[in-house]
Amino acid sequence: MNEHQLKIAEARHHDPFEYLGMHPAGRGLVVRAFDPACERMTFVELGGARTRREMPRVDPAGFFELRLDGRADFFAYELERIDGAGHATTARDPYSFPPILTDYDMHLFNEGKHLEIYNKLGAHVIEWEGARGVLFAVWAPNAGRVSVVGDFNAWDGRRHPMRLRGASGIWELFIPGLDAGAIYKFEIRFPNGDVMDKADPYAFYFEPRPKTASIVWNLDRYDWQDGEYMKARRRLDFLHAPMTIYEVHLGSWRRKPEEEGRMLTYRELAEELAAHVKGMGFTHIELLPVAEHPLDESWGYQVVGYYAPTSRFGSPDDFKYFVDTMHRHGVGVIVDWVPGHFPRDTHALAWFDGTALYEHADPRQGEHKEWGTKVFNFGRNEVRNFLAANALFWLGQYHVDGLRVDAVASMLYLDYSRAQGEWIPNKYGGNENLDAIDFLKSLGELVHGRYPGALLMAEESTAWPGVSRPVYLGGLGFSMKWNMGWMHDILEFFSKDPIHRKYHHEYLTFALLYAFHENFVLPLSHDEVVHGKRALLAKMPGDLWQQFANLRLLYAYMYAQPGKKLVFMGGEFGQWNEWYCNTSLDWHLAEYRPHWALMRCLSRLNHLHKVEAAFHELDFEWQGFEWIDFRDTENGVIAFIRRAREGGDYVVCAFNTTPVPRYHYRIGVPECRYYREIMNTDSELYWGGNLGNAGGAHADPRPWHNQPNSIEITVPPLAGLYFKPA
């Protein structure tokens, strides 16, 4: 056994093409093949005659060799293999093909600039040199050897070793005869000699959990029907458009109780969820991460397959159908995206080629102890390329309308959730992660440049300036930012007994001090209804009637505030229990009047947000908001005006945060006109006490609250009122 044969037999060869396949030999050619499972091998020359010759076994380990004297030019051929059980297979020889990836592809990737690298790395069904098969390619620069393994070769890493493409760190192999549906992994020999099977970082599809292998998939088969929607999206002025978002965890939104609590498929979800969201009047849904993840309890935030919609609910084509259906109903789709960290699972990205490849080697940079995850190395070109291309992949391949970037604060700060001595300062001695900041800025430019109308939202909990400002103005480049401070304050206020609220009105008003520093989304998210924090309705104080009244008041106040809106599923009908990812929402509650009345109330708020320009046109500009009075803490009443663009409509909003009705209550208004009551959360339609203003109120030329006119109204207990000048 020569050196090449020994390395191949022991699965240590970094370029088996040096020995296997067709090569010049003396005055002819030699064809060599290796297959330890093969008993007999026949060489078949392709062409008119299809000449057949048996290939002699030259080594018991499984090497076969055939000399072709007098032949000088390479030609196409097949190998017929018969195993020990007598089963025969015939296919082109993988080691008879020239390289496929171009030097330019590899150069762009190593520079971090190949924005469609997912079309090159991973597994792709292609036609090459007259043969149909699958091109496999993976980045593993420190590996001693990489093989493709799967059912097609009995998971034997000796049978399909890949070739290393020079200094690029990319390994490549074209295997003819394979097609979509083939199950595979990459078997990687680490620098220390250990061998590990790894899932494909660029795989489009995965086996259902708890299995962990990747599946070859062709993404070009789906026929999209959302062309008109996508054209309209490119013209969308999202800063001034209505936006109300329904946040959804697909695995627990609704299940099939008659089928042992089975989760719905993408296609089942598409029809039912679209109807619900459309009926409630939301403009968008936001999905907790749908990229492949092994653990249900991570809610999708510990991703192993960044390019694969989770197989829990169906195939990639099924997920395309889901998005397509939403678009055909006029509903936008935002997905949570997790570029800040990834799990330690041994089959995934962590320690991918036996080194810290995607992560930092130093745990002071590369680990989140609080989450038990690894941190991406944003200073490495290939890692940035992996993530940037992934963001564009979801927007392009799956037509999603936006990405909500998770845990941005953990990316911005080197000392995030780390004690003194557990982090490394940047080159200037600061705690800013300069590489991550640069990555986020370039990401914003890429997303907005390539996909006009698409959204990039930041879940960012600190006072970092300019998160939702363009990069050319010194910002991070996001479209919008979640207002985490508002969510904390508003829930802190509404959780208090009304008798104590007069001492805490700053929780209602403080957010207006900074409301226009960013393009804010006001979220009532999943994070606030888990881990003992209680469901929204259960947070509300008082008896049953007061709890529902408080929640209706909270929604009315939220919808009148500047900023786009987000409500987590279950909040629309008043779920009592905390959200749990492995069970369905308690949809039976929606059959009871207080709960369906709450749904009707939120639906009305969504409608008003959409049709009243004052509630959305100037969400991010101070001209859209004007205080009337925020000082009446004794009565617990607060009032303000929301305005549309100059010369446009306005709405007067008043809120009573106590359970005591306020009769003959006077508030200032701009004009001496009739003010029609367009929303009253105390209406009997919403299970309220039906106290109100008989449809509206006439203004008097009596100055009040620094306004030239005023109206005298009844403000019901724990209620919100909207008035529009007729």
| Tens digits of residue pLDDT in 472-490 | 999 999 999 999 999 999 9
| Model confidence at 301: pLDDT above 90 | yes
Which phi and psi angles does 145 have, rounded to 5°?
A: -165, 145
pLDDT of residue 50: 74
| Model confidence at 48: pLDDT above 80 | no
Confidence of residue 26 (pLDDT cuts 50, 70, 90): confident
Q: Do domains 3-94 and 103-215 have the same CATH topology?
A: yes
User: What's the pLDDT tens digit per position in 308-361?
Assistant: 999 999 999 999 999 999 999 999 999 999 999 999 999 999 999 999 999 999
Mean pLDDT of 393-421: 95
Query: Nearest Cα to 485, choosing from 456, 459, 503?
Result: 459
| Model confidence at 370: pLDDT above 90 | no
Residue 625 or 369, more confident:
625
The CA-based angle 402-519-601, given to 5 degrees, is 80
pLDDT of residue 178: 96
What integer best gives the mean pLDDT of the chain? Answer: 95
Mean pLDDT of 89-103: 95
| Three-state SS letters, 90-112 | EEECHHHCCCCCCHHHHHHHHHC
pLDDT of residue 70: 86
Mean pLDDT of 644-657: 93
SS3 714: strand
DSSP label of 321: H
pLDDT of residue 51: 84
Architecture of the domain defined by 3-94: Sandwich (2.60)
Active site residue: 401, 406, 460, 489, which one? 406
pLDDT of residue 210: 94
Confidence of residue 86 (pLDDT cuts 50, 70, 90): confident
SS3 664: strand
What tokens does 526 get? Answer: 């999943």
| Model confidence at 81: pLDDT above 80 | yes
| Model confidence at 132: pLDDT above 80 | yes
Domain 620-725 has CATH 2.60.40.1180: yes
Dist. CA 384–CA 379, nearest whole Å: 7
Mean pLDDT of 527-533: 94
Mean pLDDT of 500-522: 95
Confidence of residue 265 (pLDDT cuts 50, 70, 90): very high
Largest interatomic CA distance in the chain: 110
Mean pLDDT of 428-448: 96
| Model confidence at 159: pLDDT above 80 | yes
Q: Is the separation of the CB atoms in 254 and 585 below 8 Å?
A: yes
| Model confidence at 228: pLDDT above 90 | yes
Mean pLDDT of 405-427: 94
Mean pLDDT of 510-518: 95
For 291-317, give one letter per residue: b (16+ CB within 10 A) or e.
bbbbebebbbbbbbbbbbbbbbbbbbb
| Model confidence at 211: pLDDT above 90 | yes
What tokens does 102 get? Answer: 């171009």
Which phi and psi angles does 374 have, rounded to 5°?
A: -100, 155
Active site residue: 35, 200, 336, 459, which one? 459
Mean pLDDT of 218-240: 94
Mean pLDDT of 197-221: 96
| Model confidence at 157: pLDDT above 80 | yes
Confidence of residue 436 (pLDDT cuts 50, 70, 90): very high
Q: What percent of the chain has pLDDT over 70?
A: 100
Q: Give domain limits for the chain.
A: 3-94, 103-215, 620-725
pLDDT of residue 646: 79
pLDDT of residue 290: 97
Out of 298-307, 626-635, 645-654, least confident range: 645-654
**Active site (annotated) includes residue 336:** no
Q: Is the separation of the CB atoms in 468 and 458 below 8 Å?
A: yes
pLDDT of residue 383: 98
Rounded to two decimals, the pTM is 0.95
Q: Is the separation of the CB atoms in 546 and 718 below 8 Å?
A: yes
CB atoms inside a 10 Å sphere around CB 164: 21
Out of 44-48, 330-334, 570-574, least confident range: 44-48
Query: Nearest Cα to 553, choosing from 657, 465, 673, 701?
Result: 657
| Model confidence at 666: pLDDT above 80 | yes
- Residues, the chain: 726
**Active site (annotated) includes residue 80:** no
* CATH superfamily to which 103-215 belongs: Immunoglobulins (2.60.40.10)
Query: Nearest Cα to 641, choosing from 671, 611, 661, 686?
Result: 671
Runs of H (alpha helix) within 238-314: 266-280
